[in-house]
Amino acid sequence: MLKLGGVKLFHFKNSKDAATVELPLPSQVKIPLLQHMGAGCQPVVAVGERVLTGQLIGDSDAPMSVPVHSSVTGTVTAIEDYVAAGGRVEKQVVIQVDGEQEWFPSQPVEVHDQASLVAAARAAGLAGLGGAGFPTHIKLAYKDIDRVDALVINGAECEPYITSDYREMMEYPDDIIAGVELVQRCLGISRAYIGIEDNKPEAIQLLAGKLSGREDIRVESLPSLYPQGAEKVLIYNTTGRIIEEGEIPADKGVIVMNITTVANLWRYVQTGRPLTHKRVTVDGNFVKKPLNVRVPLGASISYLLEFAGVEMEKARKVLMGGPMMGMAVYQLDAPIIKNNNAILLLDEKEAEFAPTTACIRCGRCIGACPMNLMPAALERAYDQVDEETLKKLKVNLCINCGSCSYVCPAKRHLAQKNQLAKGLLRKK
């Protein structure tokens, strides 16, 4: 088999035994109408309107769009512009919470084939909950579904600190299995693989025990080698299939879903209640009491950190996500959204950038790259605005994992340059 690169990381899974706790209702939520990859929604409620928990508040006719629902019961006080972490300006709905948490009327959803499964995934407001945020219904709507014979469930959770998906496995294993069975049944998929890194033996044992003797769903124990949870890496290590440049997994007969996403899909079918809350790990190198918290979408990061009792005077950097691929938070009143799986806090020492020196041509970046790219050569091509070389060296295969920057002894910003290079090519 092809040998993929990757790096060994310290796991820091400090919150793995922290059972999920509920965040008390805030006085106000600000719910963005774009919480996924694709197009944002338009508001379908008005200022002054009372909304119920689970009520639709934003939707769009765009194919790559996911509806947004209220996470609370209360009154809409504003519909305003919001600058998302990526810099896009979208709308958000501000709701004053009344504390009633009265659910919008719902009932179980009948799902029996691909069309009804796709409709359910969209109505549930689901996007990839592991961090990528790709609309779930788009994955499930692959037009040549008869070509798909493998379902891969991502339970790797390979970034340090984060244990949100791990707690899903430990707390709701039956929902995960039922969700996998649902997708298999509706799409006619014969085999499913639940990929879990071997640094989570309790989760592997729990799920494997429940699936003992079954051939249609298998738990795959994967080496703890970052980025094990990257889609292309996960597919290769569970099925042996290689996703080429320009292909999507379904082109090779595979659909990949995050483990929390598939459990939420099952819960929606059982209740008709859409996604309104997200489990978030709160941790960092100075956090005394790491937590996993079930947070209503739209609650502010600052409110979550106050609940967690974090000593904010020690914080130099706050990240949404993990230390390898997470995005720095520019304001603490930013809201929790669907694809937030962690809020990490770093002190001065951990947040400080090491000085960059000249490349010594050691080749460590090549050995670490899971896509077998040449990061140092790509950096030179970007600096020289050499678009042909960027294409020749296949910069678009970069999966944003940051392994190259992590191992570079010169501390060069290789991963960042790859992202800038991809942006350069998109503009042409």
Ramachandran angles phi, psi of 255, nearest 5°: -120, 135
DSSP states along 316-329: SEEEES-TTT-EE-
- Domain residue spans of the chain: 23-106+274-349, 114-271, 364-426
Q: 140-169: b or e for each residue (b if 16 or more CB lie within 10 Å)?
A: bbbeebeebebbbbbbbbbbbbbbbbbbbb
- Please tell me the distance from the alpha carbon of residue 304 to that of residue 381, in angstroms, as a whole number: 43
Check whether 283 has a pLDDT greater than 60. yes
Average pLDDT for the chain: 95
Strand partners, 151: 192, 255
Check whether 131 has a pLDDT greater than 90. no
Check whether 1 has a pLDDT greater than 60. no
Check whether 415 has a pLDDT greater than 90. yes
Q: How far does CA 379 lie from the centroid of its chain?
A: 27
3-state secondary structure of 372: coil
Q: Quote the percentage of the chain above a pLDDT of 70.
A: 99
Of 63 and 116, the structure prediction assigns the larger pLDDT to 116
For 68-95, what is the mean pLDDT? 92
Q: How far does CA 143 lie from the centroid of its chain?
A: 24
Is the preceding omega at residue 249 within 30 degrees of 0, hence cis? no
- The pLDDT of residue 63 is 87
Give how far Cα 80 sits from Cα of 95, 299, 303, 336, 350, Å. Answer: 11, 16, 20, 17, 35
- Please tell me the distance from the alpha carbon of residue 423 to that of residue 400, in angstroms, as a whole number: 13
- The pLDDT of residue 129 is 87
- The pLDDT of residue 2 is 60
Do residues 342 and 130 lie in contact, with contact meaning Cβ atoms separated by under 8 Å? no
Helices within 188-258 (DSSP H only):
201-210, 231-239
- Please tell me the distance from the alpha carbon of residue 228 to that of residue 271, in angstroms, as a whole number: 33
For 422-427, what is the mean pLDDT? 88
CATH 3.40.50.300 holds for 114-271: no
| Lowest model confidence (mean pLDDT) among 97-111, 130-144, 178-192, 369-383 | 130-144
Ramachandran angles phi, psi of 396, nearest 5°: -70, -10
pLDDT, one tens digit per residue, over 22-45 is 999 999 999 999 998 888 899 999
pLDDT, one tens digit per residue, over 212-237 is 999 999 999 999 999 999 999 999 99
pLDDT, one tens digit per residue, over 378-389 is 999 999 999 999
- The pLDDT of residue 110 is 96
Residue 209 C-beta-side C-alpha neighbours within 13 Å: 9
| Lowest model confidence (mean pLDDT) among 94-103, 151-160, 263-272, 345-354 | 345-354
3-state helix, strand, coil in the chain (%, to 5): 30, 20, 45
- Please tell me the distance from the alpha carbon of residue 292 to that of residue 16, in angstroms, as a whole number: 9
| Lowest model confidence (mean pLDDT) among 79-93, 346-360, 393-407 | 79-93
- The pLDDT of residue 3 is 65
Helices within 38-172 (DSSP H only):
114-123, 136-140, 164-171
- Please tell me the distance from the alpha carbon of residue 326 to that of residue 343, in angstroms, as a whole number: 9
Closest CA to 340 of 317, 324, 311, 319: 319
pLDDT, one tens digit per residue, over 58-73 is 999 998 999 999 999 9
CATH 3.10.20.600 holds for 23-106+274-349: yes
- Please tell me the distance from the alpha carbon of residue 325 to that of residue 275, in angstroms, as a whole number: 24
